[in-house]
Amino acid sequence: MLRRLGAEVVEVRKPQQLDGLEGLVVPGGESTTFTRLMRLYGLDEALLRFTGPVLGTCAGMIVLDRNHLGLVDLEAERNAYGRQVASFEADLELAGDQRPLRGVFIRAPRVREAGPELEVLAEREGEPVLLRQGRFLVASFHPELTEDTRVHELFLETVRGRAAQPPVRGSGPVEGVRGNREVPSADATNGSVNVRA
């Protein structure tokens, strides 16, 4: 999906692979396994230091929530819609768009509690299923399993918007900085965006 939208995609399995990335996707899967492996390889600490935009889908939403990495101010309940056999698809109301967004829910989490900084972008039957908090975009469904690219477009808009900001000089790793070197803008890298598949 991201490649179709013009992004350069690389796979991330180890902390050092986050260096130089402009965005990251924490995908669906099994959240307990994710968190165990992230701790084992130190990817949890590296993700806490990562300053680029992050898209978390399904298990990715859980990994980013208050009870795990604590990067997004929400509490997600695992498998809240039921087991694998209870998986379903539904049309979602997307904020600012008349066209419904098709959501694929597979052992999906449900948002139980959300902090005041979270912006609800899509709902299903009045419940939030796509939310944004600053540089974080989280979905309780799998947007990559349909042909609709709007969720990934939202994510890439954030990535490209941050990459286009003027580089900053500093003495430590902060936003827009890798040591004392300037990070190239999107123009200097032909507009490509490195994210996790």
pLDDT digits (tens, 9 = 90+) for 177-192: 223 223 333 333 333 3
Separation of alpha carbons 183 and 194, rounded Å: 13
User: Within a domain: residue 1?
Assistant: no
pLDDT band at 29 (very low <50, low <70, confident <90, very high): confident
User: Within a domain: residue 137?
Assistant: yes
Q: In this structure, what token pair is assigned to residue 110?
A: 């449900």
Instruction: Tell me how far CA of residue 151 lies from CA of 15, 52, 79, 118, 187, in angstroms.
Output: 26, 17, 22, 16, 23
Separation of alpha carbons 158 and 104, rounded Å: 23
Reference 25, options 121, 137, 109; nearest CA is: 137
Least confident of 11-15, 46-50, 176-180: 176-180
Q: How many domains does the chain have?
A: 1
The yes-or-no answer on residue 144 being catalytic is yes
Q: Domain holding 168: CATH number?
A: 3.40.50.880
Residue 174 pLDDT exceeds 90: no
Domain containing 16: what range? 8-190
The yes-or-no answer on residue 8 being catalytic is no
Residue of 22, 68, 144, 152 marked catalytic: 144
User: Within a domain: residue 63?
Assistant: yes
Residue of 22, 58, 68, 152 marked catalytic: 58
Neighbours of 191 (CB within 10 A): 14
Question: What pLDDT does 162 receive?
Answer: 80
The yes-or-no answer on residue 68 being catalytic is no
Reference 161, options 75, 53, 34; nearest CA is: 53
Average pLDDT over residues 128-150: 96
